[in-house]
Copies of this chain bind each other. A is one copy, B any other.
Amino acid sequence: MKSLSGGPGTVSGLLLRVGQILFSSASIGVTLSAFNSLGFSSFCWLLATMVLQVLWSSGLVCFDVCALRIKRDIRDPGIASFLVFGDWVIATLSLSSACSSGAVTVLYAIDWNVCSQVPISCIRLQVCVAMAFIAWFLTAISFLVTFWMLGSV
């Protein structure tokens, strides 16, 4: 199995995980700050998947830090399979929640153009959806790199 930039146990892989945690946490923060006015199922779903994203990426930050500290080469197909499966699930859930919240935002801001009339801050809606999309994008990169490594066993 080839080692690739962005894969598990590398500095770039660690940076990707840290980025995932930062953007997911930002999305959670903005969603929570406006939760009273965003109490739709889509935003509950966004909150749930972003929490899951933070937990998953935090675990993998610990894993990457340990691998880098003991300078051990982590290219085990078993570990890679587990990471690929986890990243695939998390990336799919993140994309689904980002798109769901995005759809509700578009419905309010564009289809009905009611942002100025109802007590919903459209900027907050847009920010939490944008953060979720960035978190998804970073997870998708981690997934693709690890899947490629696994395929090259």
Contacts and interface: CB of A to CB of B under 8 A. Distances in A.
A107 B104 contact: yes
Interface stretch (A52-60, A66-74, A91-99, A120-128): A91-99
Interface residues of A, number: 25
Interface in A104-153: 104, 106-107, 110-111, 144, 147-153
A20 interface: no
A102 interface: yes
Main secondary structure of the interface of A (DSSP, over half): helix
Contacts of A110: 41
A107 B151 contact: no
Contact of A100 (B41, B103, B153): B103
A101 interface: yes
A110 B99 CA distance: 18
A40 B152 contact: no
Contact of A152 (B42, B92, B152): B152
25 contacts: A40-B106, A40-B107, A40-B111, A41-B103, A41-B110, A41-B111, A42-B103, A92-B95, A95-B95, A95-B99, A97-B99, A99-B99, A99-B100, A100-B106, A101-B103, A104-B104, A107-B107, A144-B147, A147-B147, A147-B148, A147-B151, A149-B151, A151-B151, A151-B152, A152-B152
Interface of A: 40-42, 92, 95-97, 99-104, 106-107, 110-111, 144, 147-153
